[in-house]
Amino acid sequence: MQFERRNVSASVMRVVVVEDYEPFRRFLSSTLRKNSELQVVAEIADGLEAVRKAEELQPDLIMMDLGLPTLNGIEAARQIRKVAPKSRILFVSQESSAEIVEEALSVGLAGYIVKAYAGSELLPAVEAVRQGKRFISAGLRGLAFTSDAEVQGRGSLPDEEAVPTLASGNGENARKHEVQFYRDDSSFLIGFSRFIETALMAGKAVIVLATKSHHNCILERLKAQRFNIDAAIGERRYLALDLVDMLSTFMVNGMPDRGRFTKVADDLVMEARKAAKGEPPCVVACGECAPFLWAQGQADAAIQVEHLWDEIARKHAVDTLCGYVLTRFQRERGKHISDRISAEHSAVRDESGHLMGSFNPV
């Protein structure tokens, strides 16, 4: 983390960047520094520290991720409004659900950028904020917000092809079935914890398929974030299943049995849907069944599991995140298999949440 103080003119906007993924934090800061009227006065990787530095520095603008260690972005924003009421807050997050964006805007934020669009939207968003406008990312095109009447700045894309298509061409339910790559277990756990917390905050039910050790670590992270995970468990909105036990219910002779898989997955989604809040009730899932098979050298089985789950995700409109540890992914199998895995997903993201590729489900 870097901090700097300077005597600057009133025309210079003082900016604090809050992002825990260091490469993306560097990208944000270097992009802002291209404008001589913007001064990055602090780079922070932690939500609680962001509150402290906001109170100390009283910056003009705070650019902040939603999923942060210690204190999530929305809660940090609430606290910042109390200690630095004149600071404006602009979220830069990979989360694009209407519920979460609506909650973020309700905190009184200056705007919201979807990370995949940050390259083209970052400086225009800051300029909109400078003019007293609220900026909404083009990555949220098509979503409606109760606060839309207040939105004066809105992102735009150079062409329609830049918008990932997530709806099936066969009239099936729209869904996201994304794969994200991580460099190690630690970043994997951070990514899954963020995904889970964001969904639960929106009232969704979450299905988590992971190893026992990963389940324990995820719970520890969620509790450390001061999220009331015990309440979600009690409401049955958080369904944590051991992946080894789950695999035993549908694997036959080293390959997934379609009939068994469909029955197990259908029952699981329907159980989760009963606990979800809101209308219509929404279910999301994250897991490592296919990555686990991949790590065991069962690439064909992993690809088939991805394919079968994709059918379930379309049928029930379940947004899904599959997590692969990137170093293992690269080390154990070749690129031709990674391409086959990626093709089973609606989008492929790197560790920072950047869109590496998107696919039209068929």
Cα separation, 81 vs 78, in Å, equals: 5
Selected residue with higher pLDDT from 68 and 346: 68
Cα separation, 358 vs 346, in Å, equals: 6
Distances (CA, A) of 319 to 55, 167, 212: 38, 12, 23
> pTM of the prediction?
0.53
Distances (CA, A) of 201 to 99, 198, 354: 9, 5, 22
Q: Could you give the angle at the alpha carbon of 179 between the alpha carbons of 216 and 64, nearest 5°?
A: 75
What residue spans in the chain does CATH classification 3.40.50.300 cover?
177-358
What residue spans in the chain does CATH classification 3.40.50.2300 cover?
13-162
CATH number attached to the domain at 177-358: 3.40.50.300
Q: pLDDT tens-digit profile of 245-256?
A: 999 999 999 999
Is residue 83 predicted with pLDDT exceeding 70?
A: yes
State the pLDDT at residue 361: 36
For residue 32, give both structure tokens.
């802002």
Residue type, 321: L
Class of domain 13-162: alpha beta
Selected residue with higher pLDDT from 120 and 171: 120
State the pLDDT at residue 86: 93
Mean pLDDT of the chain: 80
Name the most confidently modeled range: 138-142, 195-199, 322-326. 195-199
Q: pLDDT tens-digit profile of 113-122?
A: 988 778 888 9
